[in-house]
């Protein structure tokens, strides 16, 4: 078996690998490092978790250890679809380049332009960026890509999903024709194939085995769920999710809950928190410091439940989790594989449970076709109390408040019609909400009393003034009552 020391890596890089505790390259590393060191283009078909990051960082550091960067002309470029992935790649460089003098800059949203500008101005060996942010800098005349000797495209299939392919093509065209390209993708969609045919030159193709999708160590299950009423679907689904978590009990030490929509990520996290679960959301609309804090907490075990969108979670190197819950069946069957691959790592046991509404059944078929296996149906833990669920579900949740959701649609009901805290139509409004802001309001249970009443003047008769909610200035209530009694 190949050892790192058999590869022609810089001795200082080998030292850092040794200090990181690695001896044997993973298959993608063993396959990609030798041709990369020879200066050849590489097409790596591998997913996260295979060690693919080191398969490009190690030869890059070796190649870049010689030579010096010139102002505003990075010597190498790594493109990543998300900030988290970019930050992870940057960490990899920190780990493996610690004995080599190498400068790097990170161009991602949420990191100040000014600081990164200053770094780039001085000259960097490695520039790690998301495509949009990189082009922003380029267009502001802060950056020249004509000095790029090595260009890496990481998670190209995710770039495709996110609509970054035109940006990638543009970036390719701004770099020298003579550059070396290391290109990684978990799958080879036709569009990806086209890009690699256009921009890679006689690449060494390394394909590593797909992550086991039906690994014996991952117990999978799907609960078929139909809401008692469409406008109660959100709250009933969240109740079902809690019941599934409870059913798993102590076995569920930590979990990732995947939602298809960012709005649901927020709502589910908020709902779980309200019910006393240690949960936090992560998706692309949250600011960088919050995302970093949440992820750090999840990695170090201080956060038990991460509620995530596919984009935010893709490519993240999180330790094995005991459970994955799919709040929705993913729209792309491939994502199911990525999601459940978060559990049962390194031969440990894992559980992946999916909630499937009638609307999701087609997507479930697609998943089962892809994994070539029927996912065992699992009883709805709330079923025995089904009537109870129907009666109580809308009383259970943050978003819906304690009253049954009214039949009116969210669009029919301007927010100002109701006190801000009550929002009886919220469960539907929240589930349909397009932006997290819209979904963010159900912070408090709906039944908070109007303030003047809570203050105990006793004269309000328990009823607030419709339309003013908690914000009713107490003197208004007093003057009403005084006129009536006086
Ligand atoms: P990646 O696929 O690059 O996200 O890497 C997944 C995980 O594998 C990371 O936690 C790496 O630190 C780890 N890793 C990378 N190379 C090796 C190796 N040769 N042996 C064992 N673990 C590795």
| pLDDT, tens digit (0-9, with 9 covering 90-100), for 397-447 | 444 433 333 333 333 333 332 333 333 333 333 333 323 233 322 223 333
Q: Given this model, what pLDDT does residue 193 score?
A: 93
Q: Given this model, what pLDDT does residue 110 score?
A: 75
84-90: long-range pairs with CB below 8 Å, 24+? 84/291, 84/295, 84/312, 84/315, 84/316, 85/154, 85/155, 85/314, 85/315, 85/316, 86/128, 86/129, 86/130, 87/292, 88/53, 88/315, 88/316, 88/317, 89/53, 89/57, 89/128, 89/154, 90/128
Mutate to test the pocket of ligand 1, among 53, 86, 87, 186 (most ligand atoms within 8 A of CB): 53
H or E element, residue 305: strand 305-308
For ligand 1, the distance from its centroid to the CA atom of residue 49, given in whole angstroms, is 6
Residue with tokens 């031969």: 347
Residue with tokens 């070796």: 62
Q: Given this model, what pLDDT does residue 437 score?
A: 31
E strand spans, 321-362: 323-326, 350-356
Residue 25: pLDDT above 70?
A: yes
**Residue 17 Cα: closest atom of ligand 1:** 19
Residue with the nearest Cα to atom 8 of ligand 1?
51
Residue with the nearest Cα to atom 12 of ligand 1?
51
For ligand 1, the distance from its centroid to the CA atom of residue 176, given in whole angstroms, is 31
Q: Given this model, what pLDDT does residue 145 score?
A: 97
Q: Given this model, what pLDDT does residue 347 score?
A: 62
For residue 163, give Cα distances in angstroms to 81, 261, 339, 346, 359: 10, 17, 21, 33, 26
Produce one character per residue of 236-255: b if its CB has 16 or more CB atoms within 10 Å, e if not: bbbbbbbbbbeebeeebebb
Interacting residues of 455 by C-beta distance below 8 A, sequence separation 6+: 474
**Residue 95 Cα: closest atom of ligand 1:** 12
Which two three-digit tokens encode residue 247? 């059913």
**Residue 53 Cα: closest atom of ligand 1:** 3
Q: Where are the alpha helices (DSSP H) in 357-471?
A: 361-371, 386-392, 426-432, 436-440, 451-454
Per-residue confidence band for 210, with pLDDT thresholds at 50, 70 and 90: low
Residue 218: pLDDT above 80?
A: yes
The domains located in the chain, with CATH, are: 4-207 (3.40.50.300), 218-386 (3.40.50.300), 445-486 (no CATH)
pTM to 2 decimal places? 0.58
CA pair distance 179, 150, nearest whole angstrom:
5
Per-residue confidence band for 50, with pLDDT thresholds at 50, 70 and 90: confident
Burial class (CB in 10 A: 0-12, 13-18, 19+), 119: middle
As for ligand 1, residues whose beta carbon falls within 6 Å of it are 22, 24-26, 29, 48-54, 317
Mean pLDDT, to the nearest integer, of 251-262?
94
Count CA atoms closer than 13 A to 383's CA, side-chain side.
8
Annotate 188-238 with DSSP letters as a single string: --HHHHHHHHHH-SSPEEEE-PPPPSS-TTEEEEEEE---SSGGGHHHHHH
Residue 204: pLDDT above 60?
A: yes
Q: Where are the alpha helices (DSSP H) in 341-425?
A: 361-371, 386-392
Residue with the nearest Cα to atom 6 of ligand 1?
49
**Residue 317 Cα: closest atom of ligand 1:** 4
321 phi, psi to nearest 5 deg = -110, 155
For the segment 122-155, what is each residue's pLDDT rounded down to a tens digit?
Answer: 999 999 999 999 999 999 898 999 999 999 999 9
Q: Given this model, what pLDDT does residue 155 score?
A: 93
Contact between residue 307 and residue 272 where contact means Cβ atoms under 8 Å apart = yes
Contact between residue 166 and residue 134 where contact means Cβ atoms under 8 Å apart = no
Which two three-digit tokens encode residue 370? 């892809």
For the segment 436-476, what is each residue's pLDDT rounded down to a tens digit?
Answer: 233 322 223 333 333 333 333 333 333 333 333 333 334 33
Residue with the nearest Cα to atom 13 of ligand 1?
51
Interacting residues of 210 by C-beta distance below 8 A, sequence separation 6+: 47, 337
Q: Given this model, what pLDDT does residue 466 score?
A: 35
Produce one character per residue of 306-320: b if its CB has 16 or more CB atoms within 10 Å, e if not: bbbbbbbbbbbebeb
CA pair distance 193, 210, nearest whole angstrom:
18
């Amino acid at each position: 078996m190949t050892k790192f020391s058999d590869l022609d890596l810089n001795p200082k890089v080998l030292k850092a690998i040794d200090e990181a505790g690695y001896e044997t390259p993973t298959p993608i590393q063993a396959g990609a490092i030798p041709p990369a060191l020879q200066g050849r283009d590489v097409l790596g078909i591998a997913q996260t978790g295979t060690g693919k990051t080191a398969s490009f960082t190690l030869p890059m550091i070796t190649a870049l250890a010689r030579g010096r960067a010139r102002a505003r002309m990075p010597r190498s470029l790594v493109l990543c679809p998300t900030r988290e992935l970019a930050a992870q790649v940057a960490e990899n460089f920190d780990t493996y380049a610690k004995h080599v003098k190498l400068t790097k800059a990170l161009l991602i949203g949420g990191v100040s332009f000014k600081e990164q500008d200053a770094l780039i101005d001085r000259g960097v060996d490695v520039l790690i960026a998301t495509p949009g942010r990189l082009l922003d800098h380029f267009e502001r005349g802060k950056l020249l890509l004509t000095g790029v000797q090595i260009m890496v495209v990481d998670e190209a299939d995710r770039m495709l999903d996110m609509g970054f392919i035109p940006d990638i093509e543009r970036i390719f065209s701004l770099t020298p024709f003579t550059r070396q390209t290391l290109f990684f993708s978990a799958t080879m969609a036709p569009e990806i194939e086209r890009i690699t045919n256009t921009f890679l030159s006689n690449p060494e193709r390394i394909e590593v085995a797909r992550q086991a999708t039906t690994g014996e160590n991952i117990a999978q299950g799907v609960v078929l769920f139909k809401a008692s009423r469409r406008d109660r679907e959100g709250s009933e689904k969240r109740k079902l999710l809690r019941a599934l978590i409870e059913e798993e009990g102590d076995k569920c030490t930590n979990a990732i809950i995947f939602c298809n929509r960012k709005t649901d990520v927020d709502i589910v996290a908020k709902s779980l928190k309200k019910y006393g679960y240690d949960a936090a959301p992560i998706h692309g609309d949250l600011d960088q410091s919050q995302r970093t804090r949440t992820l750090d907490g999840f990695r170090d075990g201080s956060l038990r439940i991460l509620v995530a969108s596919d984009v935010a979670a893709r490519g993240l190197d999180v330790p094995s989790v005991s459970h994955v819950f799919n709040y929705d069946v993913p729209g792309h069957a491939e994502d199911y594989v990525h999601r459940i691959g978060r559990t049962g790592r390194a031969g440990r046991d894992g559980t992946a449970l999916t909630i499937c509404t009638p609307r999701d059944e087609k997507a479930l078929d697609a998943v089962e076709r892809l994994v070539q296996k029927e996912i065992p149906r699992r009883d709805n833990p709330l079923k025995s109390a089904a009537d109870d669920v129907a009666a109580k579900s809308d009383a259970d949740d943050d978003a819906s408040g304690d009253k049954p959701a009214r039949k009116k649609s969210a669009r029919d009901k301007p927010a100002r019609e109701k006190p801000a805290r009550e929002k009886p139509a919220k469960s539907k409004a929240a589930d349909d909400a397009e932006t997290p802001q819209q979904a963010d309001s159900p912070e408090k249970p709906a039944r908070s009393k109007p303030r003047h009443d809570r203050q105990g003047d006793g004269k309000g008769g328990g009823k607030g003034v419709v339309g003013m909610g908690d914000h009713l200035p107490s003197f208004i209530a007093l003057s009403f009552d005084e006129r009536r009694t006086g």
